[in-house]
């Protein structure tokens, strides 16, 4: 019994060390893929499922100052820039600030278009609502990545 416990502990320690060694890298890459992918979709009208809600939200937030195409291309450039910044690990403070601002924007439809976010308020989400709520994970990932800009690391 003791031998098994010892072997399990060695395996567990190795796995934990692997996670500590590669976890931040994988988190940064996966979040960058999300931003690049979703951003590139916005360059092609009709390709992004969030296109309509995103443009209407920005139209409301900017009081109609920008047209739909300007909003979409601006958002596409913004998201791809975030993704490329995360991918290359350059200008991380600035990239994370852009990401937090973009994430704040993605949460605003909860307040300005609740009828499109909730199937049954406050617990049953529409598909758009689920798309928005998953951003809490992205925000948390940004917080974790932000903890590394001054040399923070995961320790096993």
| pLDDT at residue 5, rounded to an integer | 74
Confidence of residue 155 (pLDDT cuts 50, 70, 90): confident
CB neighbour list of residue 133: distance below 8 Å, 6 or more residues apart: 125
User: What confidence tens digit (pLDDT) does each residue in 92-131 have?
Assistant: 999 999 999 999 999 999 999 999 999 999 889 999 999 9
Q: How far apart are CA 85 and CA 95, in angstroms?
A: 6
- How far CA 3 is from CA of 11, 14, 80, in Å, comes to 12, 17, 51
User: Mean pLDDT throughout 60-84?
Assistant: 96
User: What confidence tens digit (pLDDT) does each residue in 29-42 have?
Assistant: 999 999 999 999 99
Q: How far apart are CA 5 and CA 64, in angstroms?
A: 64
Nearest to 69 by CA among 49, 45, 47: 45
Residue-range domain boundaries for the chain: 2-146
Residue 43 confidence (pLDDT) above 80:
yes
């Amino acid at each position: 019994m003791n031998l098994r416990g010892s072997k399990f502990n060695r395996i567990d320690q190795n796995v934990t060390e692997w996670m500590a060694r590669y976890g931040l890298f994988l988190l940064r890459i996966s979040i960058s893929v999300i931003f690049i992918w979703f951003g590139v979709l916005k360059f092609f009208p009709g390709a992004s499922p969030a296109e309509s809600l995103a443009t209407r939200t920005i139209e409301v937030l900017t009081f109609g100052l920008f047209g739909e195409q300007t909003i979409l291309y601006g958002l596409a450039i913004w998201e791809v820039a975030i993704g490329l910044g995360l991918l290359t690990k350059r200008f991380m403070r600035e990239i994370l600030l852009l990401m937090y601002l973009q994430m704040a924007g993605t949460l605003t439809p909860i307040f300005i278009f609740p009828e499109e976010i909730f199937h049954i308020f406050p617990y049953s989400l529409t598909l758009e609502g689920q798309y928005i709520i998953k951003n809490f994970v992205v925000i948390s990932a940004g917080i974790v990545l932000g903890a590394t800009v001054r040399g923070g690391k995961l320790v096993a």
